[in-house]
Amino acid sequence: MSRAAIYKHYMRALSQWPKDALRPECRFEDVMQKRIEQKFNPPKALEGAKPAATTPKNEEAEMNQVHALFSLIGNQYTRKFPLGPIMKPASNPTHYTDLVEELSAAPNRSLFERLVAKWRKSVRLQ
């Protein structure tokens, strides 16, 4: 497989990567894209030099990395290794579902809602 084809596979995988609404300034896709650009597009100073030949072993390793990205996107490991009872501790069975709800709601909160949530965490009425 050619370097261009591997590059296209990487870009397709990164375009399907889920967006992180909680931390939009530090995205996995941006970091990986920068790494891939550096790897597949050598600096201008080296362009006049003879291009390094890629060995089939290197190409195979790169395709394995691409396959790993796609398996993460498709939640392959979640289906293969379900967490089961770990996600429902006896002391607080809804802890992780509450945490996921909190994290999904956090980016869409207004300033007032954030202040109220902070106040609720500091004052516990039990």
* Residue 44 to residues 2, 3, 6, 14, 40, Cα–Cα distance (Å): 21, 18, 21, 25, 12
Q: How far is 18 from 103, CA to CA, in rounded Å?
A: 15
Tell me the pTM. 0.66
What are the pLDDT tens digits along the chain (126 aa)? 788 889 999 999 999 998 887 788 888 999 999 999 988 886 655 455 555 555 667 888 999 999 999 999 998 998 889 888 888 889 999 999 988 888 888 888 888 888 887 888 787 665
- C-alpha angle with apex 17: 25 to 70, nearest 5 degrees? 145
* Residue for token pair 């869409």: 108
Q: Which one-letter amino acid corresponds to residue 92?
A: N
Domain boundaries, the chain: 3-80, 84-122
